Structure 1
Amino acid sequence: MSIAETPQPSASAAQSLLDSIASRQCNVGVIGLGYVGLPLIDAFTSAGFSCTGFDVDATKVDSLLSGKSYIKHIGDDKITAWLDKKAFDATADMTRLGEPDVLLICVPTPLDDARDPDLRYVVGTCEAIAKSLRPGQLVVLESTTYPTTTRDVMVPILEQSGLKAGVDFFVAYSPEREDPGNPDFSAAGIPKVVGAISEESLEIAKKLYESAVAGVVPVSSCEVAEAAKVLENIYRAVNIALVNELKTIFDDMDIDVWEVINAAKTKPFGFQAFYPGPGLGGHCIPIDPFYLSWLARKQGLSARFIELAGEVNRAMPDYVISQSAKFLNEFQKPIHGSKICLLGVAYKKDVDDPRESPSFELMELLLELGADLTYSDPHVPNLPEMRHYDLPAMQSQELTPEFLSSQDAVLIATDHTDFDYESIVKHSPLVIDTRNATASVTDRTKIRKC
Structure 2
Amino acid sequence: MPADLAVIGLGPLGLPLAQAAVAAGIPTVGYRTGPEAGSLSPAELRRMLSGGFRTATNPADLGRVRTAVICAPTPRDADGRLDLSQVEAAARTLAEHLRPHTTVILESAVYPGATEEFLLPLLEETSGLRAGRDFHLAHSPSRVDPGSRAFTPANTPKVIGGLTPACTESAAAFYGRLTDKVVRARGLREAETVQLLETNFRHVNIALVNEMAVLCHDLGVDLWDVVRCAETKPFGFEAFRPGPGVGGHSVPLDHAGRPGSTLRMVELAQQVNNRMPRYVVQRAAALLNEHGKSARGARVLLLGVTYKADLADEQGAPAREIAIRLMELGAAVSYHDPHVPSWSVLDRPVPRADSLYEAAADADLTILLQQHRTYDLQGLSVKAQLLLDTRGATPTGAAHRL
Q: What range describes the TM-score normalised by the shorter chain of this pair?
A: over 0.9
Q: 1:362 aligns with which of 322, 337, 348?
A: 322
Give 1:95 deviation, angstroms. 4.0
The answer (yes or no) to whether the contact 1:347–1:358 under 8 Å persists in 2 is: yes
TM-score w.r.t. length of structure 1: 0.85
The aligned residue for residue 102 of structure 1 is 67
Counterpart secondary structure, 1:35 = coil
SS of structure 2 residue aligned to 1:224: helix
Match of 1:401 in 2: 357
CA distance in 1, matches of 2:206, 2:172: 33
| Paired residue type of 1:178 | V
1:58 and 1:299, CA in 2 relative to 1: closer, same or farther beyond 3 A?
closer
Partner in structure 2 of residue 372 of structure 1:
332
Tell me the CA shift for residue 98 of structure 1: 1.6
Gaps of 5+ in 2: none
**Partner deviation per Cα, 1:400-419 (whole Å, 9 max, x = no partner):** 43322221111111111211
CA contact (8 A) 1:30 1:103 kept: yes
Q: 1:395 to 1:156 in 2, by over 3 A?
A: farther
Q: Which residue of 1 aligns with 2:298?
A: 338
For 1:165, the aligned partner's letter is A
Cα drift, residue 56 of structure 1: 4.1
What fraction of aligned residue pairs are identical, expressed as a percent? 36
From 94, 100, 105, the equivalent of 1:129 is 94
Once the two structures are TM-superposed, the CA of residue 151 in structure 1 deviates from its matched residue by: 0.3
| Change beyond 3 A, Cα 1:241–1:337 | same
* 1:84 matches 2:50: yes
| TM-aligned CA deviation for residue 89 of structure 1 | 0.9
**What is the CA distance between 1:243 and its match in structure 2?**
0.7
Q: Does 1:288 align with 2:252?
A: yes
Counterpart of 1:50 in structure 2 is: 27
Q: Residue 391 and residue 256 in structure 1: after superposition, are their counterparts in 2 closer, same or farther (change >3 A)?
A: farther
Tell me how far apart the structure 2 counterparts of residues 401 and 83 of structure 1 sit (CA, whole Å). Answer: 40
Give the SS at the match of 1:193. strand
CA distance in 1, matches of 2:139, 2:289: 53
Equivalent of 1:390 in 346, 353, 364: 346
The answer for the alignment partner of 2:374 in structure 1 is 418
- Secondary structure of the corresponding residue to residue 70 of structure 1: coil
Alignment equivalent of 1:308, drawn from 259, 268, 281: 268
Asked if 1:323 is matched to 2:261, the reply is: no
Please state how far the C-alpha of 1:92 moved relative to its aligned partner.
3.5
Q: Under a length normalisation based on structure 2, what TM-score does the superposition of the two structures give?
A: 0.94
Pick 1 or 2: higher relative contact order, CA cutoff 8 A, min separation 6.
Answer: 1
Contact between 2:74 and 2:82, CA under 8 Å: does it hold in 1? Answer: yes
- Structure 1 pair 136–417 and aligned structure 2 pair: CA distance change class (3 A): same
Aligned-residue offset at 1:25: 8.0
Cα distance between partner residues in 1 of 2:229 and 2:347: 40
Distance, in Å, in 1 between the alignment partners of 2:35 and 2:61 is 15
| 1:38 paired to 2:15 | yes
**1:367-407 deviations in whole A, cap 9, x for unaligned?**
22222111111122222x7xxx7342346423443322221
What SS does the corresponding residue of 1:212 show, helix, strand or coil? coil
Which aligned segments of 4 or more residues in structure 1 are displaced greater than 6 angstroms?
none
1:127-175 alpha-carbon deviations (Å, 9 max, x no partner): 2112222222111110111100100010111112221111221111001
Match of residue 166 from structure 2: 200
Question: 2:39 — aligned with what?
Answer: 70
The residue type paired with residue 70 of structure 1 is S
Q: Which runs of 5+ in 1 are unaligned?
A: 1-23, 61-68
Matched, 1:429 2:357: no
Identify the residue that residue 311 of structure 2 maps to in structure 1: 351
Paired residue type of 1:169: F
Return the letter of the residue paired with 1:42. Answer: Q
